[in-house]
Chains A and B, each alone.
Chain A
């Protein structure tokens, strides 16, 4: 164990001790796999693989911290504009990961429900088949929720909700006057209930939300944490720092004494 590991371990414990308010729902924009690959002189696909390893570790950190809902921005509607080669590598990686969900011992032990959010019609059938098998295998789990945004676009999500509502208006099932924010929310993708995003995290030193969850994050005034590291280099300490930003906001609104950050 190196000195750095020891210090990190102590610092992690210090951060964990400080946190009183744990977010129910964290959304993560895992940015920087490609730049990580470039910096390390490895292929783009290996950057994505390194990112997927971080995702698996992060899911353990989240579960241990008591975060019930995690939503990941894995592939956006805009990402379809990337090269065919990159897209096919990414989809092969997703397929592999979704195939493994069913047999993953942790998924069953911790009762993790896995779902995707996005425009399913844009996904290749073989990937969609694996996704749906993973969803079916975890359908009854309620302790933790892992939501994966695939072929997701925030505006597209709202357009789909509008279409669904107008369809019902056309059939005379709802009146135009009844359309309010609560009703729109019920019709966002899949119509399944997702709680508001408490904390949105983006890695890779970009400071924007890039069409991710405009309703559930922006609309619900989610706390924001921008982290400089690329996603493959994202560590537990960064994760805990993000939670601390949420914790500080909750303390302020509850009138509790804020703990000043030791360092940033």
Chain B
């Protein structure tokens, strides 16, 4: 009851929301709480956040296979873009929700340069704008949330250079809607400068 009131109070005081939100979770998180990803997607959509990405770090994407039915529930409420083993599958319709399994940001950058080389791009023609066109994931998250641990993740390393970071002490499994709203409140209080 108290939480419900607190949640309502928090939600009412949020006016500046991230356009794109990225969660960095792990294989262990999926094992501990397979249903959480679709649940959190619902929280985001409920707040009106329509750019949502989940990165699941794993050394072997095959280990995430048992949880695919849980991940695919996202397609009931949004347009799921599932990236795994260099393939992308699209399911459902609505707000775009990207789930990237085992993707590496360094590999994404190397792949961009490899493709530029194959396309015969001249060295002098490379700039940041050209990179933006070669990237697999073409958006910059406004807020990156990592639960349970305080470290960076090898994903969207180009795209997230100006992102606000939020590290939560709470593990993914125990991450409640009230923790999510607190992260959004924290984001709202930040002054973004984009490097200047």
Interface residues of chain A, those whose CB is within 8 Å of chain B, are 76-79, 81-82, 153-156, 158-159, 161-167, 169-170, 176-177, 179-181, 183-185, 200, 206-212, 214-215, 217-225, 245, 249
Give chain B interface residues in 111-129, CB to chain A under 8 Å: 112-114, 116-118, 121-124, 126-128
Q: Do A225 and B150 touch across chains, with their CB atoms under 8 A apart?
A: yes
Residues of A within 8 A of B126 (CB): 159, 162-163, 166
8 inter-chain pairs at a CB distance below 8 angstroms, sorted by A residue, are A159-B131, A166-B117, A166-B122, A166-B123, A176-B118, A179-B114, A208-B162, A222-B152
Residues of B within 8 A of A159 (CB): 126-128, 131
Q: State the 3 A-B residue pairs at the shortest beta-carbon distance, nearest first.
A: A78-B195, A176-B117, A218-B157
Complex CA distance for A81 and B195, rounded to whole angstroms: 9
Q: Do A249 and B195 touch across chains, with their CB atoms under 8 A apart?
A: no
In the assembled complex, the CB of B111 is this many whole angstroms from the nearest CB of chain A, namely 8
In the complex, whether B105 has a CB less than 8 A from a CB of chain A is yes
Residue of A nearest to B57 (CB): A221
Complex CA distance for A221 and B158, rounded to whole angstroms: 14
Q: Do B116 and A166 touch across chains, with their CB atoms under 8 A apart?
A: yes
Interface secondary structure of A, over-half rule:
helix
Q: Do A215 and B106 touch across chains, with their CB atoms under 8 A apart?
A: yes
In the assembled complex, the CB of A207 is this many whole angstroms from the nearest CB of chain B, namely 5
In the complex, whether B7 has a CB less than 8 A from a CB of chain A is no
Q: Do A167 and B123 touch across chains, with their CB atoms under 8 A apart?
A: yes
In the assembled complex, the CB of A55 is this many whole angstroms from the nearest CB of chain B, namely 21
Residues of A within 8 A of B105 (CB): 214, 218-219
Interface residues of chain B, those whose CB is within 8 Å of chain A, are 104-107, 109-110, 112-114, 116-118, 121-124, 126-128, 131, 149-154, 157-158, 160-167, 190, 193-196
Complex CA distance for A76 and B121, rounded to whole angstroms: 27
Complex CA distance for A76 and B195, rounded to whole angstroms: 8
Q: Given A78-B195, A155-B128, is A162 in contact with B154 using a C-beta cutoff of 8 Å?
A: no
Complex CA distance for A23 and B158, rounded to whole angstroms: 24
In the assembled complex, the CB of A91 is this many whole angstroms from the nearest CB of chain B, namely 18
Other A-B contacts than A179-B113, A207-B165, A219-B106, 12 sampled, CB-CB below 8 A, are A155-B161, A156-B128, A158-B131, A162-B112, A166-B113, A177-B114, A181-B106, A200-B152, A210-B161, A212-B161, A222-B152, A224-B151
Q: Do A219 and B154 touch across chains, with their CB atoms under 8 A apart?
A: yes
Complex CA distance for A58 and B7, rounded to whole angstroms: 42
Q: Do B195 and A218 touch across chains, with their CB atoms under 8 A apart?
A: no
Q: Given A81-B196, A184-B113, is A224 in contact with B165 using a C-beta cutoff of 8 Å?
A: yes
Residues of A within 8 A of B121 (CB): 166
